[in-house]
Amino acid sequence: MDARVDPARTSPKRPLRIALLAYRGDPYCGGQGVYVRHLSRELTRLGHHVEVISGPPYAVVDEGVKLTTLPSLDLYRDPDPFRLPHVREYRDWIDVLEVGGMLTAGFPEPLTFSLRAWRHLAARRGEFDVVHDNQTLGYGQLGLPRLGFPLVTTIHHPITVDRALEIGEATTLRRKATLHRWYGFTTMQKRVSARLSDVLTVSDSSKAEIVDHLGVSPTRITVVPVGADTDRFRPDPATAKVAGRIVTTASADVPLKGLIHLVEALAKLRTDHDGLELVVVGKPKGDGPVLRAIDRLGLTDSIRFVSGITDDELADLIRSAEVACVPSLYEGFSLPAAEAMACGTALVATTGGAIPEVAGPDGQTCLAVAPGDPEALRAAIGRLLDDPDLRARLALAGRERVLERFTWRNTAVRTAENYYAALEAGPTMPTRAGAGRRSLSERASDAVLRRSAFGRRLPPPASHG
């Protein structure tokens, strides 16, 4: 994957009016929110007009970027997730659909946000040159070309990968059945993805997974890597290293992130390294396997969880560590790897998914290990803790790799070029891939999307000439 782009290059074409959709936009809730915030900021710096249209938890945007919120019932919010809303909270049939999805143990947000976004944009035809969906992949997206909007879609990686890993980790039939139902929305995402004309993804590994899992033609997929905020995530001599500190960013009880393997590695490391501290940027579940493992291995005093911190606080934390670790079983890209290298902190990373595309060659810009192997993690981390010269060499090379390949400006420049191509092609949508009858849900969605929310036929699409 060669992501080198001349940072000085800007398009001579006119500025674009961009609607950037995020069904969950808060950057403190995951990497997709980080993507929305930084991409919208850099597109604005290039001279484009960006409006982020977000469901809750809402996106955080920078100066110059407009934020439009599409409220939902927010059924998974803290501190009362899976709440049953009062009848007075219902506003329309989409709210009913949202509650119905939750009550049947599903995850309705991608579908319901896509329908709200379609309804919102139907009332704003002609206001945007292009719509960019950030992995909602709901049936509402299929209606956007009918409104006259060219559509570009980012798929970071197929959620079917998460689904397979979580179901594989489940130890009871009841848990497996629950996960099958929860991930039921991936059927919709597969149907929608197969009909998209213009897909962006973040790595060659993700592209292969999208072709394999979602049935998207490789000719419709463009790899545009994301990046680190290299102004914020950078070395700072004023930040002192804390001896024995290891830092990782991981959702504590998502098997995909591999945190439990790092916890097991730390237990092994403590036998010959004193004063170790693992700082986990994430929030653990009180009854989850990671906290149970920490208690079982006697690591309560050696592991600290932090959450809700600012980007500046995160950068300071990464800089203070002697070693950063990405223990994931799979990543479609790995922002934590790019941010650690940008900070000049030596990195241990697995070879899961696209991580090698970001972290680079073993022994040159990182130490690479097989995913799911606590002993390999122990050996690599221990090697770095014992060798300050190796840490310094990897830190310098890692920073240079990020500056050359993975910056948000590069991402914005290449994304904008895809917008211009989509605008030139016009609002198109491939026919449904494969033969056979369409599902009932597809036929029902098509019928809904041909009409406005009040049953009136929509006017003809606006011209994009």
Residue 455 lies in a domain: no
444 and 339 in a common domain: no
Cα pseudo-dihedral 56, 209, 216, 127, rounded to 10: 30
At residue 115, what are phi and psi to the nearest 5 degrees?
-75, -40
CATH number at residue 256: 3.40.50.2000
From residue 191, alpha-carbon distances to 21, 179, 447 in Å are: 19, 20, 16
Range of the domain at 106: 17-227+409-449
Residue 39 lies in a domain: yes
Q: Which of 375, 391, 406 is the last residue of a domain?
A: 406
Kindly report the pTM of this predicted structure. Answer: 0.86
Buried-exposed string 209-238: b where 16+ CB fall within 10 A, e elsewhere: bbbebbebeeebbbbbbbbbbbeebbeeee
423 and 402 in a common domain: no
299 and 201 in a common domain: no
Residue 458 lies in a domain: no
Residue 261 lies in a domain: yes
289 and 337 in a common domain: yes
Structural domain count, the chain: 2
Residue 457 lies in a domain: no
Q: How far apart are CA 395 and CA 367, in angstroms?
A: 11
146 and 261 in a common domain: no
Residue 315: CB partners within 8 Å, gap ≥ 6?
232, 233, 234, 236, 339, 343
Q: Which of 352, 372, 406 is the last residue of a domain?
A: 406
Per-residue pLDDT tens, the chain, 465 aa: give them. 544 444 334 446 899 999 999 998 776 666 788 999 999 999 999 999 999 999 999 999 999 999 999 999 999 888 888 999 999 999 999 999 999 999 999 999 999 999 999 999 999 999 999 999 999 999 999 999 999 999 999 999 999 988 998 899 888 999 999 999 999 999 999 999 999 999 999 999 999 999 999 999 999 999 999 999 999 999 999 999 999 999 999 876 788 899 999 999 999 999 999 999 999 999 887 778 899 999 999 999 999 999 889 999 999 999 999 999 999 999 999 999 999 999 999 999 999 999 999 999 999 999 999 999 999 999 999 999 999 999 999 999 999 999 999 999 999 999 999 999 999 998 877 665 544 556 555 555 565 566 544 444 444 444 443
432 and 323 in a common domain: no
Determine the number of helices (DSSP H) and then strands (DSSP E) in the chain.
16, 13
Structure tokens given for 305 = 């969880």
Residue 173 lies in a domain: yes
Residue 465 lies in a domain: no
In residues, how long is the chain? 465
Structure tokens given for 96 = 């009913």
Structure tokens given for 455 = 């049953």
Residue 460 lies in a domain: no
266 and 184 in a common domain: no
430 and 399 in a common domain: no
**Pairing outcome for strands 49-54 and 245-249:** unpaired
192 and 288 in a common domain: no
Q: How far apart are CA 114 and CA 278, in angstroms?
A: 39
320 and 190 in a common domain: no
143 and 25 in a common domain: yes
254 and 180 in a common domain: no
Contact (CB, 8 A) for 122 and 149: no
